[in-house]
Amino acid sequence: MSQDRIPAAFIRGGTSKAVVLKRADLPEDEAAWAPLFAALMGSPDPYKRQLDGMGGGLSSLSKVCIVGPPTRSDADVDYTFAQVGVTTDQVDFTGNCGNMSSAIGPFAYDEGLVAGPREGMAEVRINNTNSGKIILARFPVRDGRAVVGGTLAIPGVPGTGAPVSLDFLDPADTFGKGVLREGRSLHRLTLADGRRVRATMIDAAVPSVFVDAGDVGGDAGADPADIDADAALMARLEEIRCAASVRMGLTGDLDAAARRMATPKVAMVGKAGAYRDLSGTLHPAESHDLQIRMISAGQAHRAVPVTGALALACAAAVDGSVVAACLPEGADVLNLRIATPSGILSVGAMRDPDGTGIRSARILRTQRRLMDGYVYLRAPMPDFSADQN
């Protein structure tokens, strides 16, 4: 039995890794993409390792990005993101990956999909088809290639790299259902166990629901492995996520919400406090403005999804939100310091001049191409029944 192959690059973007494909190398019928991507990642894998594919057994390592010609006049390229399940063959196209967004501009530049200077700073306007929003990526180039080496360190990635500045323009209302549920910054949800939970449901960069960690019996400074191991806490957070999905108008019922693993994101937040990150580094309370622990595709994220961090910054800019209540006096929403399991991350949101909305959200990331060539897929199993007859 032979194997099929597709030209591909394997790239780290921020704290994620993904197989990056060109639109021209994929089937024209996008309905064929989901099973192809699941097979490419090695899903489903009941052993949670994706050993027979390119995935790494974590949601942040089970991703596919597709880059192609722009379908709107104000963009240089189109970019579609696919989140692939680990233990299931589910493929979710409803949300973007902000971390992998940092790889799209340099990939498009290096592949000659966009024009740009041979020296200096390149600028690529990316149309994220998942959200319908424009991402403005800026990054240094030298000798006609995107620069990789640099001095920027980001939490969760060893070493340093060249900065990629990402401006998520007009990040709010990615699904056309409004920025805040019913225009309110705070809701109270009643869970099956009788708990009353304060929640902020916001659609900015990615639909997200933020809850106070204390309300759900959690700890916003906990180790992700401890969160994953707390089945009751994970069940409460999934109940909140599904309820928010329906209330935000993203899905019609709880069953549909459960099947839609990528959006909305759900996160616990809390006030600043001393904690140790996954490297063992101790961060004092004064080193950050608030703590966050976000669930991504059914797992506690080992850092924080970039779109989730951007949504957090946007929620922080909204008076009365759960996030705003966690901030110390004088915190700057343009330069928020958020404590993640992998360290302190800086992110910010800029309000419109009239204060009625969010103009943009910004974050710095690094990226590096790790490999390119071909990814191989098992060809369909031959049917030997005719020979046996």
pLDDT tier, 99 (very low <50, low <70, confident <90, very high otherwise): very high
User: What are the CA-CA distances from residue 287 to residues 127, 151, 351, 366 (Å)?
Assistant: 35, 20, 25, 22
Amino acid at 362: R
Q: Kindly report the CA angle at 215 between 212 and 221, in degrees rounded to 5?
A: 55
Give the pLDDT confidence of 310-331 residue by residue, as tens digits: 999 999 999 999 999 999 999 9
**pLDDT given at position 355:** 60
Q: At what angle do helices 98-110 and 306-316 cross, to 10 degrees?
A: 120
**pLDDT given at position 189:** 94
Per the prediction, the chain carries an average pLDDT of 94
Helix, strand and coil in the chain, % to nearest 5: 25, 35, 40
Q: Average pLDDT, stretch 331-337?
A: 92
**Cis, bond preceding 341 (omega within 30 deg of 0):** no
Give the pLDDT confidence of 284-308 residue by residue, as tens digits: 999 999 999 999 888 999 999 999 9
Residue 386 has pLDDT above 80, yes or no: no
**pLDDT given at position 388:** 46
Task: Please give the domain boundaries of the chain with CATH numbers for all domains.
Answer: 3-163+367-377 (3.10.310.10), 181-354 (3.10.310.10)
Residue 356 has pLDDT above 70, yes or no: no
Residue 98 has pLDDT above 50, yes or no: yes
Percentage, residues of the chain above pLDDT 70: 96
Give the pLDDT confidence of 37-92 residue by residue, as tens digits: 999 999 999 999 999 999 999 999 999 999 999 999 999 999 999 999 999 999 99
pLDDT tier, 379 (very low <50, low <70, confident <90, very high otherwise): confident
Q: What is the pTM of this model?
A: 0.79
**pLDDT given at position 389:** 44
